[in-house]
Amino acid sequence: MNRLADEQKRRNKQSQERWNRFLPHRRQVTRLLVDAAPTDGALCVLGAGNCNDVDLKRISSRYREVHLVDLDTGALEAGVIRQELAHAQRVCVHGNVDVTRVANLLAQGTPDNPISDADLDQCLWSSASLKPLEISAPVDTVASVCLLSQLLDATAKTMGQRHPRYVEMTMHLRSRHLKLLVDLVRPGGTAVLVLDFVSSLTCPDLPYVPEHLLQEKAVELIRQQNFFTGLNPFIIQHLFLTDPELAPHVASAEVTEPWLWDLGPRAYLVCGIVIRRTK
């Protein structure tokens, strides 16, 4: 394991007992996945962690297979046990999976002592040439649940935002993640990208915004450039529809209305992007 994996385990441990706090967020994510469910389909959830984001019983009643993928095996297993599905044949746990496949190399650097340009080039080359994850793909529905923000945050922790190639690496990892979603879902299927794109750390009044004003607040924050680097949902929607690697496989990409995810010490503004693959 590396320090990025250790940090992910720490975060999962920290949020493990916040099941009740996740309820409004969990309802939103679960609804998106249920709405995307075809008849007798298969679902893959990337970044499932301790599964507080998803109601596994409701989801597994709509899909014949549910694949849960995360770097933290222990969190996945504990989450499945919490929801009383440890022996459910429909639910498959895939732990110790690094969806970037370059975390071990990135983790060797710090902002004060970043990895070399040669190693960064290796990261770029390796992540661009990887085959899709081996999880019975393609599936009918694939979901990335607040995972992209974690991946990009890991880049900041290993390179530092002042690194001359920080933006390049951030945009590359984002691009690869979007491509992974498209690659994992079958033609005619659906990808759901759930994004936590701004927090109360930079918008202190966020927890107090009424629900009916969240859309207006989201637009205001985006106009003010107040969002996590690389996580503007409208830019990501545009990439799905115009990027030469993505657009030929995408029939539509729609941004949902945002919702508030209140974790106590910090709140996040979250939305989904629902991507329909071409048939």
Q: In the predicted model, what is the mean pLDDT of residues 145-149?
A: 94
Nearest one of 161, 143, 147 to 231, comparing CA atoms: 147
The overall average pLDDT reported for the chain is 90
Cβ–Cβ under 8 Å, residues 140 and 42: yes
- What span, in angstroms and rounded, lies between the C-alpha atoms of 106 and 114? 9
Where in the sequence is the domain holding 99, given as residue range(s)? 3-277
| Structure confidence at residue 264 as a pLDDT band (50, 70, 90) | confident
Q: What would the DSSP string read from start to end of 187-242? A: EEEEEEEEEEEEETTT-TTGGGS-GGGHHHHHHHHHHTT-S-TT--HHHHHHHHHH
Q: In the predicted model, what is the mean pLDDT of residues 162-170?
A: 87
Number of domains the chain contains: 1
Q: In the predicted model, what is the mean pLDDT of residues 235-263?
A: 97
List, for residues 93-109, the tens digit of each pLDDT value: 999 888 877 777 777 77
State if pTM tops 0.95.
no
CATH at residue 81: 3.40.50.150
| Positions of E strands within the chain | 41-46, 63-69, 91-94, 139-145, 185-199, 250-255, 259-262, 267-277
Nearest one of 181, 194, 176 to 249, comparing CA atoms: 181
